[in-house]
Amino acid sequence: MLRVRPAKKIAGTVRVPGDKSISHRAVMFGALAEGVTTIEGFLPGADCLSTISCFRRMGIEIEQQGDKVTVQGKGWYGLQEPMQHLDVGNSGTTIRLMSGILATQPFHTVMEGDESIAKRPMRRVIGPLRQMGAKIDGRKDGEFTPLSIRGGKLQSMAYQSPVASAQVKSAILLAGLQAEGVTSVTEPHLSRDHTERMMQAFGVSVVRDGLTVSVEGGQKLTGRAISVPGDISSAAFLIAAVMVVPGSSLLIENVGINPSRTGIIDVVKAMGGSLELQNERIVNEEPVADLLVTHSQLHGIEISGDIIPRLIDEIPVIAVMATQAIGQTVIRDAEELKVKETDRIATVVSQLSKFGGRVTPTDDGMIIEGQTALTGAVIDSMGDHRIGMAMAIAGLAATGETGIENEEAINVSFPGFEELLKNISQ
Ligand code: SPQ
């Protein structure tokens, strides 16, 4: 059990582990590229290690030591049919992006993962890939794992996605790279665009026109050196720690500030938080900065619309910050929370309530009542890394001790979280 005591102050200069979305993509693109790809700043969390293990099973040589990785790319058709099922663990990004890749391969694969993956919707990816000609099956007509994929020749398509999902967009664009003609995806709101940026970094031409992004089939990826910035979704827990503990101040160095991910910065500022970007620079097509965060009294706001995909993974910890803000915070248009590692509307409400938090679930979000005194409690991560970490941050602002059960889930995206939190807590 992870134990958290109330903090008097949060202070220091820190770095967070590498960006999870970018780390996955660097391994995948490196494996499919011609030549060697070296990655520094890789996230050695359980999810990205699942991606590495899937490619190793398909004959790709990958050396990984901590945050340094070398991938011996063999080109798009250098993968071998795996002898066993591919295990994606807890990682939605791995299974959905790999569906797009495997749909193009001249062999058969079966992918499965843990209990949480078995409940997450797959037809959002399988449906459009089937329309491109892929032969994919799974439980409930392809809605759930295990997924069985017999890849082959695909036709290009113009896909209008009903959800703003980077995983859906990425799977179709990856399949599109081997389809005949131009494949495009149009989304209702912009989701994170790391795939598009990394395709360009690997030498692929990608065209963006508003909410539509297209690629032409038949383009090759060329191996290269990739430097992964710190994950803003991990930095979000530390930003929240500063905001819920009076007198705190923290410098978080080398954080990715891709505009499709910075909803958390906009929200903290809109709530009255002090957050300054320093030393802004571009690394491998991705913007990066140091974040200077200083405690401020927050006030409640409404969060809805276009900003939601830009902060979807941060909503659990935003809810925690909102308990300490003056007034009410209302989160709308976030029904996607229901299909993450857990139903994050239900789990935020059930776990935050254990501290005495006043949170009401709605169909597409939640309403949080501000300036609520929290009391330490025994919490369950429910196997969801972001719930475990969000509740640890609530524990810093609570009276008495908090215990987080099933805390090992945190390793999915933030190995070293407990130690880092101890180091910055006074
Ligand atoms: O990979 P996984 O399990 O889906 O992880 C989560 C997370 O909280 O870490 C979602 F539960 O992040 C997704 C994110 O929500 C990672 C991701 C990506 O790298 O492409 C995109 C988002 O999901 P989606 O469904 O909007 O595409």
Q: Are 96 and 125 in contact (CB under 8 A)?
A: yes
Confidence of residue 360 (pLDDT cuts 50, 70, 90): very high
Q: What is the rounded distance in angstroms from the CA atom of residue 70 to the CA atom of residue 73?
A: 9
Residue nearest to atom 10 of ligand 1 (CA): 340
Ligand 1 centroid, distance to 373 Cα (angstroms): 31
Q: Are 348 and 315 in contact (CB under 8 A)?
A: yes
Task: Name all domains of the chain by residue range, CATH numbers in brackets.
Answer: 2-18+229-424 (3.65.10.10), 20-227 (3.65.10.10)
Ligand 1 centroid, distance to 93 Cα (angstroms): 6
Extract the tokens encoding 129. 């890939």
Predicted pLDDT at 269 = 98
Q: Provide mean pLDDT across the span 303-329.
A: 98
Confidence of residue 255 (pLDDT cuts 50, 70, 90): very high
Q: Are 162 and 187 in contact (CB under 8 A)?
A: no
The H or E element containing residue 417 is helix 417-424
Predicted pLDDT at 197 = 97
Helices marked H in 228-377 — which ranges? Answer: 232-244, 263-270, 315-323, 344-354
Q: Closest Cα to residue 136, out of 167, 165, 102, 169?
A: 102
AA identity, residue 74: K
Predicted pLDDT at 216 = 98
The active-site residue out of 19, 290, 313, 384 is: 313
pTM: 0.98
Predicted pLDDT at 267 = 98
Closest ligand 1 atom to the C-alpha of 94?
1
159-207: pLDDT as tens digits: 999 999 999 999 999 999 999 999 999 999 999 999 999 999 999 999 9
Percent of the chain with pLDDT over 70: 100
Which one of 313, 342, 384 would you pick to mutate in the ligand 1 pocket, going by the greatest count of ligand atoms within 8 A of its CB? 313
Predicted pLDDT at 33 = 98
Q: What is the rounded distance in angstroms from the CA atom of residue 343 to the CA atom of residue 316?
A: 11
Q: Closest Cα to residue 212, out of 159, 154, 155?
A: 159
Start-to-end Cα distance in the chain:
21
Tokens 């399988």 map to which residue?
Answer: 126
Q: What is the rounded distance in angstroms from the CA atom of residue 48 to the CA atom of residue 178?
A: 24
Q: What is the rounded distance in angstroms from the CA atom of residue 19 to the CA atom of residue 197?
A: 14
Extract the tokens encoding 250. 């923290």
